[in-house]
């Protein structure tokens, strides 16, 4: 019996889907490590601020962090499905849906952190906003695109729903932070940090939201996974 030799196209498809499986596993591991690091930073924050038992940021964030962790683990389940199934658009759609779910779960951490700050009357001063904004470029999003590049691409904005290229809440928050103020010296609170109320409210530049944004910015990204999904999709086209 003569065996048919796989075509170059078939080989290319297998290679791209094999890479996709590897990237899914790596993204799952990276996300889990990011969440472990975030938990440590939240614990350190609680210790620095004398938060004990029930009124802790760690406890407040626990449910959403567990949900994000479970979602990250689901990436490995999808990788397992790719390994046992034939390459198809159904598989890439499944991966993209799981990527979107992961992004939403991680994005939810920012909102939960903001709610904690509000309940505990923490305010993000200018220094905290600058720390979270990375030198004025703002959130580059989980896919590595900044707001301008995201808004200029109609295809990405339609499919990503604002989760990857920009942060819906952050634009107004960080607007105008880098302009010079003639009364700058009069707008500092007693800690020496500027705030957004002319210095009349004493607040810390360190908030839980700032911590979450910095950790996610530095240790979480879906750009590689997004790129590999597109590569796998393209490989299916004759």
Question: Is 80 exceeded by the pLDDT of residue 68?
Answer: yes
CA distance 223 to 103: 11
Q: Which two tokens stand for residue 26?
A: 């790596």
The tens digit of pLDDT for each residue in 179-212 reads 344 344 333 332 334 444 333 333 456 899 999 9
The mean pLDDT of 211-221, rounded to a whole number, is 98
CB 31, CB 220: distance < 8 Å: yes
CA distance 123 to 109: 17
Residue 123: band (very low, low, confident or very high) from pLDDT cuts 50, 70, 90: low
28 inside domain: yes
Tell me if residue 111 falls in helix, strand or coil. Answer: helix
Q: Residue 52 phi/psi, 5° resolution? A: -135, 150
CA distance 176 to 195: 13
3 inside domain: no
Q: Give Cα 202 distance to the centre of its chain.
A: 30
Hey, which residues does 188 pair with through a beta bridge? 194
CB atoms closer than 10 angstroms to residue 53: 7
Question: Is 70 exceeded by the pLDDT of residue 128?
Answer: no
Q: Which domain holds residue 107?
A: 9-174+203-235
194 inside domain: no
Q: How many domains does the chain have?
A: 1
CA distance 9 to 178: 52
Tell me if the pTM is above 0.75.
no
180 inside domain: no
179 inside domain: no
166 inside domain: yes
181 inside domain: no
183 inside domain: no
Determine which helix (DSSP H) or strand (DSSP E) holds 17, and give its type and residue range: helix 8-48
3-state SS, one letter per residue, for 151-179: HHCHHHHHHHCCCCCCCCCHHHHCCCCCC
């Amino acid at each position: 019996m003569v065996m048919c030799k796989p075509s170059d196209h078939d080989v290319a498809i297998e290679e791209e889907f094999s890479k996709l499986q590897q990237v899914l596993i790596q993204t799952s591991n990276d996300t889990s490590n990011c969440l472990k690091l975030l938990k440590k930073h939240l614990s350190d924050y609680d210790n620095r601020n004398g938060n004990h038992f029930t009124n802790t940021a760690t406890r407040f964030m626990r449910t959403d962090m567990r949900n994000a962790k479970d979602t990250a683990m689901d990436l490995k389940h999808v990788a397992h499905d790719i390994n046992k199934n034939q390459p198809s658009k159904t598989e890439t759609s499944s991966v993209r849906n799981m990527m979107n779910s992961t992004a939403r779960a991680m994005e939810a951490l920012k909102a939960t952190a903001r709610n904690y700050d509000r309940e505990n009357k923490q305010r993000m001063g200018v220094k905290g906003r600058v720390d979270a904004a990375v030198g004025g470029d703002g959130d580059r999003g989980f896919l590595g695109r900044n707001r301008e590049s995201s808004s200029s691409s109609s295809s990405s904005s339609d499919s990503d729903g604002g989760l990857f290229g920009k942060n819906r809440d952050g634009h107004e928050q960080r607007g105008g932070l880098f302009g010079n103020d003639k009364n700058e010296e009069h707008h500092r609170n007693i800690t020496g940090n500027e705030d957004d109320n002319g210095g009349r409210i004493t607040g810390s530049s360190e908030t839980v939201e700032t911590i979450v944004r910095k950790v996610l910015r530095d240790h979480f990204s879906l750009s590689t996974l997004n790129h590999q999904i597109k590569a796998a999709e393209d490989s299916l086209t004759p």
